[in-house]
Structure 1
Amino acid sequence: MGMIAPGSTLGILGSGQLGRMLAIAAAQLGYRCHIYAPESGPACDVAAAFTSGAYDDAAALAAFAQGCAAVTYEFENIDPAAIDVVARHARVAPRRKSLETAAHRAREKALAEACGGRPAPWRTVTSLAMLETALNEIGTPAILKTATEGYDGKGQIRLTAAHEASAAWAAIGERECVLEAMVAFEHEFSILLVRGIDGSSVAYPPPLNEHRDGILARSSVPAPDAIEAQAQAATALARRLADELDHVGVLTCEFFATADGPVFNEMAPRVHNSGHWTIEGAVTSQFENHVRAVLGLPLGSTALTGTAAEMVNLIGEDAAIWPSLLAEPGAHLHLYGKDEARPGRKMGHVTRVTR
């Protein structure tokens, strides 16, 4: 599995803003991108081709993959069977194991524990009786999360007392979940690790992540001392996870910085919102390094381009301030081309680098 030469086509499953930024990074290296998704989205605006198809349409997936030298994906809520179809016709990275592990909260927590990591106390829940038992074992406050398809604070319910179990189970849709104990933490941070086809890896400085209403609002580097002190251990765990999965591309692991060390929260087998600052703030962006990894190219430097950097999400009506951001010296504006600003919808981001 050697290097794929410029001029080839990289396929991307998913048409959102992560696919858009991947396609831009690939184009800068001389590659064409072909987007496959059920509906057109921001990625299609900057890609050479788009195929509209369902992720369970094997014939459409095969036809798409046959025109690609390699294929990656921008989000993990895809049936792993789609990866199997594509893999029969093109190189796929990350591999199926990464997708099916990171897309399921119980699997990722179990793997983190097996690799020596420490998630918050948790239990798998598939019935009201199991939820009641889990609450008795873990206690409250706790948070009930769907095992799959949760992001940006969706699919989560906080419980402050055991008697809330029945209402929470109904509200979550009576589906497979995990119950997690709430942990006391000082900061949230992430490790963005990039692993190449040859097993080599690089990691970015860990950003401090600040959330608003369950959605990432700001990421900044360098992180506070409390995070820096735990970055080595967190990065080592991310590297063990990537090696265990034989992962290729960006693997993002989210952590809580606690008094007892880093607590693993969750992981994503892809480029991540907390790494958007790397476009201007790092020598090689997370998007370019993901493309490099998937295509078998040497990985690039993750060093900062300045002394500090921050990324601020433009969520919903926040995007209306874009004219003032264009006028702000040193502000790097990224708008995703979405046509409707809805509450909680990521419309773009702005990056600022301190030289």
Structure 2
Amino acid sequence: MTTVGILGGGQLARMLALAGAPLGLRFLVMDTSAEACAGQFAPLLVGDYRDESALAEFASRVDVATFDFENVPAESAQWLSARVPVFPNPRALGLAQDRLAEKTLFRELGIPVPAFADVGSRAALETALAAIGLPAILKTRRLGYDGKGQFRLKPGVGNGDSGFGEAEAAADAAWAALGPQADRVGLILEAFVPFERELSVVAVRGRDGSFRTWPLTENWHVDGVLSASLAPARVDPALAEAAIAHAGRLAEALDYVGVFALELFCRDGELLANELAPRVHNSGHWTIEGAETSQFENHLRAVLGRTSGATSMRGHACMLNWIGELPDSVSVLAEPGGHWHDYGKSTRAGRKVGHATVRADTPEALAGMLRRIGDALGRQAQVEPVIAALSR
């Protein structure tokens, strides 16, 4: 029996293990915490990702390795790859960990991106602001996710009586917030994009180079954390084709194996790449019930060298993320297309603790289900943007 090793023991590893059970797979999860929720469904090895003795034990017990979040040290993945097959490859992982390298590759591949600049000092921030202008976002190059490690520089920050220009005042505030991290994780300044829509391509590439995507997904975020996803996104087919083409070029360039997500902004009919997530992705959770083959099963098929399953949809689907605490499941499970996922985590502000997927055969039926769920849970603000999108 094949054993798949997963570095990282969060909800993504948990859902990979659940998807792998029907395939006859065993799993070993490695995480720094004994409380990692994937440990409820698979053996858990607790250890530091940089501890070579722990990594050696991990490698000795698995046939192939993957990871469930992109902040696993790329050098640890590289060390493992000399002892056991690792997919996606450490290069793809390392690239996704550095926003500057990531944006640079996008640009080299002809994938449009917002203006950006490397920021290594306070003086470099001023130079970058002069070129990019306000508003802009200062981000850590490494270790940021779900809105963490970011500071938005806005016009009007300066005090008119201070004698400082608004750009200088904004730079002061941004540097005070993130400057102390510059030496450790690096910084990048990006132009703020006044986008109309946030979209993602969730795709899978096999060891043999085969490439499939699920239908384009539209996403809504609150405070930098995904709130809801709708598939298929109601967009012009040409826009969807362009997004898929961007993802295909990226996968080919990285010799990528497994599932990944390419996050995109849409502005004035143009797509701008935001970031690459080198793993199964929150915006693809709807695929468990809403597609012929889920992102989790297809990731496992890919890393094992098996043929990918069909990615076609089963009607229309919306995923609702539960952040901080779980609401009551009754209203979701009362719907004929309602599906509930509890990650088995303790509650904490800002923590992803579960999700629900609602599936229907028509946009109108899906909108009706979401309206009833939103009313029952007092979450109208979470479902209303999705309902509006379904009426386009």
Common topology (TM > 0.5): yes
- 1:304 equivalent to 2:313? Answer yes
- 1:199 equivalent to 2:206? Answer no
- Equivalent pair of 1:72/1:94 in contact (CA under 8 Å): yes
Alignment partner of 1:180 out of 190, 207, 226:
190
Alignment of 1:206-355 (within 5 A): 206-226=216-236, 228-306=237-315, 308-317=316-325, 319-339=326-346, 341-355=347-361
Tell me the residue number matched to 1:21: 15
Tell me the residue number matched to 2:72: 78
**Which amino acid counterpart does residue 319 of structure 2 have in structure 1?**
M
**Which amino acid counterpart does residue 59 of structure 2 have in structure 1?**
A
Q: 1:62: Cα distance to partner?
A: 1.2
Alpha-carbon displacement from aligned partner over 1:55-99 (angstroms, at most 9, x marks no partner): 110111011111111000001112111112211221100001100
TM-score with structure 1 length normalisation? 0.94
- Equivalent pair of 1:127/1:174 in contact (CA under 8 Å): no
Name structure 2 gaps, 5 residues minimum.
156-166, 362-392
- 1:62 equivalent to 2:62? Answer no
Q: 1:261: Cα distance to partner?
A: 1.5
Q: 1:260: Cα distance to partner?
A: 4.6
Alpha-carbon displacement from aligned partner over 1:297-345 (angstroms, at most 9, x marks no partner): 1000000012x1110001113x132244333432100000002x22211
**Which amino acid counterpart does residue 44 of structure 1 have in structure 2?**
G
Distance in 2 of aligned mates of 1:174 and 1:277: 36
Distance in 2 of aligned mates of 1:159 and 1:273: 27
Tell me the residue number matched to 1:95: 89
- 1:38 equivalent to 2:32? Answer yes
Distance in 2 of aligned mates of 1:291 and 1:137: 44
Q: Which consecutive aligned stretches of 4+ in structure 1 deviate over 2 angstroms post-superposition? A: 322-330
Tell me the residue number matched to 1:3: none
Distance in 1 of aligned mates of 2:275 and 2:28: 29
Distance in 1 of aligned mates of 2:265 and 2:327: 32
* Count of aligned positions: 344
- Equivalent pair of 1:126/1:174 in contact (CA under 8 Å): no
Alpha-carbon displacement from aligned partner over 1:146-199 (angstroms, at most 9, x marks no partner): 101111111111001412112211211341111111122211000011000011
Distance in 2 of aligned mates of 1:354 and 1:9: 36
**Which amino acid counterpart does residue 88 of structure 1 have in structure 2?**
A
**Which amino acid counterpart does residue 8 of structure 1 have in structure 2?**
T
SS of the aligned residue for 2:6 comes to strand
* Structure number with higher relative contact order (C-alpha < 8 Å, ≥ 6 residues apart): 1
Distance in 2 of aligned mates of 1:322 and 1:309: 18
Percent identity of paired positions between Structure 1 and Structure 2: 49
- 1:52 equivalent to 2:46? Answer yes
- 1:113 equivalent to 2:99? Answer no
Distance in 2 of aligned mates of 1:211 and 1:122: 22
Distance in 1 of aligned mates of 2:129 and 2:327: 43
Distance in 1 of aligned mates of 2:90 and 2:355: 30
**Which amino acid counterpart does residue 255 of structure 1 have in structure 2?**
L
Is the radius of gyration larger for structure 1 or structure 2? Answer: 2
- Equivalent pair of 1:253/1:264 in contact (CA under 8 Å): yes
Moved more, 184-193 or 133-142: 184-193
- Equivalent pair of 1:230/1:257 in contact (CA under 8 Å): no
SS of the aligned residue for 2:252 comes to helix
- Equivalent pair of 1:22/1:287 in contact (CA under 8 Å): yes
Moved more, 67-76 or 255-264: 255-264
Name structure 1 gaps, 5 residues minimum.
1-6
Q: 1:229: Cα distance to partner?
A: 3.5
TM-score with structure 2 length normalisation? 0.86
- Equivalent pair of 2:8/2:72 in contact (CA under 8 Å): no
